Structure 1
Amino acid sequence: MAESAPLSPEAVADRVRREVDRALKRNIKGLEFLTSTRAEVGAMARDLVHREGTAMLWRYRPVVDEIYRRPLLIVSPPSNKGYIFDLAPGQSMVEYLLNRGFDVFNLDWAPPRRDEAHIAIADYVDRFIPDSIARIAEITGEREITLAGYCMGGTLATIHAALHAGNAVKNLVLFATPIDFDTMRLFQTWADQRHFDVDMVVDRLGVIPPELMLGAFDLARPANRTAGRLHLWTNMWNDEFVRSYRMFDRWAAETLPVPGEYFRDQIKKLMWANALVKNELEIGGRTVDLARITVPILNIIAQHDHIVSEAAAHPIMTLTGSTDREQLVSKGGHVSLVAGPAALRRLWPLIDGWLGKRSV
């Protein structure tokens, strides 16, 4: 192998100056980082149009004169705040979709109160989502919507679409959505029913604190926090990197508590019994049969997702009755599907094309 040519004295001097400059910036900006207030999030104006218990329905204000007829409802995962879809200008999926003429709603969640510990999966799929769809119909006059969901928000959207087939949902868009919970090995280990007494946890706590769920994520990647801090320090000189880090760090730190009964359902029915993929999940006395879903489906998977693998998300492509199904596998991780400049360039234009043909 040929040796590379030695650097000239000028090139060496330039590299040294660059590294010294970055080292100085790291120290100065490191102090700024430690003393700064929490990162500002949210790019687009929105209005709270419906509130029911822990459920909050937001409508983003249109920014173009002509919008598609069929509204888009995005369901957030109950454990996370919905502003991940709208972090900042240039890093906002909502901003992108609004600029392309979509009428965007977000079903978001407030932390449950102690007296809301009884909220179960049935409340999300038979009450919160249907009530939001009804409110959207009142506002827009449109009876048909595209239903989308991220992570467990996508699982809830899928369950709703199966239970309420033939009603308002005319398209289903899923981002990093777990369907086959047997394939989520680390979470299976964390919630191993031989050692994890979910009934005791729920009965004693009522509302499940976010630290419990964050522990599962830390188990999946034990060194993730440390590696992230080291990566931050290495790039402390880069204002754009630090800005993005602070926004994502705030979102992760603001993980929400969840109602105890929802958590019990999630562990017993989805994680232990894997009832959804087996068509054995019962909600309100009805069986959730995925074959009843016949609407067009767009299934979006992150190639390097350490939370929801392709094996966990792919079964939606074979278990439904839909004949219009498309799967996109995007580079990046669990969060990069719905936030960040990389998604803006690679993924969101594909979503725009798919949705545009099905929103008129």
Structure 2
Amino acid sequence: MNLSTHPTPPAALSDTALVWDRKVKAPWVAMTGGLSPISLGLALADWAWHLGTSPGTRMRLQSESVDHWLASLKQVGCQEHPHPDKRYADPTWAMWPFCALASTHHTAEQWWAHASHLRGMEHHHQDVVHLMARQWLDMLSPSNWPHTNPQVLMTTLQTRGDNLRQGWHHAWQDMQRQIHPQTAMDGDAAYRPGIEVACTSGAVVHRNHLVELIQYTPTTAQVQREPVFIVPSWIMKYYILDLSPHNSLVRYLVDQGHTVYMLSWRNPDASDALLDMEDYLRLGVLNPLAVITERTGGVPIHAVGYCLGGTLLSIAAAALARDEPMQDAQAIAPLASLTLLATQLDFQDAGELGVLLDEAQVAVLEDSMAEKGFLTGRQMGGSFQFLHAQDLIWSARMREYWLGERISANDLMAWNADVTRMPATMHSQYLHQMYLHNDLANGRYKVEGQPVSLGDLRMPVFAVGTQKDHVTPWRSAYKVHSLTRSDVTFVLTSGGHNAGIVSEPGHAHHHYQLLHTPLTAEATAPEVWQRKAPRFSGSWWPAWHAWLRSHGGEHVLAREISPADVLEPAPGSYVQVRYGD
């Protein structure tokens, strides 16, 4: 027998097998909307096995089901609203049989909250089953269907069906946007970067392959000596912090006498598939810090990070602070302070987004990214919509399709629709090292081959958590107290992940709690902090400005931008790159 002397290399066999695996899995994933069928199947099997081997629990759940059903029947009299759910806030829900329908749905939600958490189940599987049950219940809510929603029925009678005709028109428009997303975005010119939003005066003064560095034009004769450097998240465009002039955090800082620098991340394409976390650290944080150091003469820098930008900034700060400094660390000025806005450093309790992430789900995402070289903006946006289907899908569709009322766009909604991509390699590393293995909090995250420790951070820290944050739960953001060796001023503000940060002065309903914990004090549990921290009305921005002033030096003449340093006016080119996926 003549055997070949050139067998197929193992690496080639492995690559071929991986390609084959991905082709087989692709139809499964398409049927589950991008969720891993293996992850969902394991969670369901865990729940079913524990339920099947627990006769006492089954009897208890059956008894609770009957009790809930009987309680719903008591609503036949409809004396009052069944509960304060905003889906049933309209007075028409007080009429029978609609109040009974709402009450039945509410009791079903309560029942499943108990039924999805069985003794002995993996905690992650409990969360997955609870999330999937909640998705089904949100879809089946009587408020979503015209024949069980009294508000829709009354509106249809009053308008002689005009609401349904208008709703059909809205549905057709949305369908066209799904088919031609790029055309839809180009046609929506209500909030254009550089005109209606992202219009604070400034210039791009540095550019590399990954970021543009914007310096904003001073509006005061003197400025605080220490500049402010802001690292936004690269999941979305930077101008969340520079929306319309009245709610722009950048404009507020400039008007208070700060020299402000902001990163604008490049929207990656397939050629950027191999960009990794190290590239984001060097090109996105360290290189701009060196440029700012040179432009300001080496004075200390107030560093600010938002969401993922805060995580990356903290990694850079820890790498610069360790005993064996990084290469080229001497080219970067010391950090005067560190501000973390809705930033997660410990991913053990990662919030609702973490429910969707395990090894099987990350493998699905990697398979999806391998085909294109990036995670699409629509995939990321779809994840957030899935987690908040009640508000972002069902309630919105009910209002627009059944009531015929288009939700009025605003600058925050326009920013949210301006999606960005993430390179495949970077996103895979981020998911594995943060969400799955929690390397940063456990001191295992490596920079230049050596682990970094958040315990090396000594500069004062100002951290902001938001009460309704489903991306970075405030109790998770609060862990900065135990992870660093710094004086920490922590703020808990009203609102969610975005609206809590974009909290400009002048809103009557905004409020926050603030408490300073010195380095010598022992960190308390978040619930204890919440009881002790004083509550203030209004925006937290002025308190942060005062804190920056207290950790800075004297004022100097405003730093004008030399025409020779201007690559192009703000907001630059990178923010203008849009994709329809």
The normalised TM-score by structure 1 is 0.83
Q: 1:356 to 1:49 in 2, by over 3 A?
A: same
Separation in 2, partners of 1:215, 1:265: 21
Amino acid of the structure 2 residue aligned with 1:142: G
Higher mean C-alpha deviation, range 195-204 or range 82-91: 195-204
1:183 lines up with 2:349 in the alignment: yes
User: What's 2:370 paired with?
Assistant: 203
Q: CA deviation at 1:283?
A: 2.8
Counterpart Cα distance in 2 of 1:232 and 1:139: 51
Q: Find the counterpart in structure 1 of residue 502 from structure 2.
A: 339
Q: Where does 1:66-85 land on structure 2 (aligned, <5 Å)?
A: 66-85=222-241
For residue 212 of structure 1, the aligned residue among 369, 379, 398 is: 379
2:397 and 2:334 map into 1 onto residues whose CA distance is 45
Q: How many residues align?
A: 329
The amino acid of 1:184's aligned partner reads A
Specify the alignment match of 2:310 in structure 1. Answer: 154
By how many angstroms is 1:223 displaced? 2.2
SS at 1:159 equivalent:
helix
Separation in 2, partners of 1:204, 1:179 = 30
Amino acid at match of 1:73: F
Q: Does 1:303 align with 2:483?
A: no
Task: Tell me, yes or no, if the aligned pair for 2:366 and 2:424 is still in contact at 8 Å.
Answer: no
Match of 1:192 among 358, 381, 387: 358
The 5 A counterparts of 1:249-268 are: 249-268=413-432
- 335-344 vs 325-334, which deviates more? 335-344
Could you say which residue in structure 2 is the equivalent of 1:222? Answer: 389
CA contact (8 A) 1:176 1:308 kept: yes
Structure 1 partner of 2:437 = 273
Structure 1 residue 196: Cα displacement: 3.5
Deviation, structure 1 residue 332:
0.8
Matched, 1:352 2:571: no
Q: Which has the bigger relative contact order, CA under 8 A and spacing at least 6?
A: 1
Report the AA paired with residue 84 of structure 1: I
1:57 equivalent to 2:213? Answer yes
Runs of at least 5 residues in structure 1 that lack an aligned partner in the other structure: 1-22
Is residue 2:491 matched to residue 1:325?
no
SS in 2 for 1:271: helix
Structure 2 residue aligned with 1:122, among 264, 269, 278? 278
Q: Deviations over 1:175-206 (max 9, x none)?
A: 00011212124322322213441443343331
Change (3 A) 1:294 1:187: same
Whichever residue aligns with residue 38 of structure 1, its letter is A
Please tell me whether residue 37 in structure 1 is matched to residue 200 in structure 2.
Answer: no
Q: After TM superposition, which residue ranges in structure 1, 4 or more long, deviate above 3 angstroms?
A: 226-234, 340-345
Partner SS for 2:304: strand
Q: Contact 2:225 / 2:299 at 8 angstroms: preserved in 1?
A: no
Aligned-partner residue type, residue 292 of structure 1: D
Q: Between Structure 1 and Structure 2, which shows a larger proportion of helix residues? A: 2
Residue of structure 2 equivalent to 1:8: none
SS of the residue corresponding to residue 49 of structure 1 reads strand
Q: Distance in 1 between matches of 2:219 and 2:313?
A: 27
Asked if the contact 1:69/1:142 (under 8 Å) is kept, the reply is: no
**Which residue of the other structure, out of 264, 282, 289, is the alignment partner of 1:133?**
289
Alpha carbons 1:43, 1:92 under 8 Å: kept: no
Q: Which whole-Å CA distance do the structure 1 matches of 2:495 and 2:273 have between them?
A: 35
RMSD: 3.0
Q: Does the 8 Å CA contact 1:71/1:359 hold for their aligned counterparts?
A: no
Give the structure-2-normalised TM-score.
Answer: 0.53
Gaps of 5+ in 2: 1-158, 174-186, 323-332, 512-537, 554-581
* Higher alpha-carbon deviation: 286-295 or 187-196: 187-196
3-state SS of paired residue (2:355): helix
Letter in 2 for 1:204: E
1:231/1:156 CA distance change after superposition, 3 Å: farther
Contact 1:85/1:92 (8 A) holds in 2: yes
Amino acid at match of 2:340: L
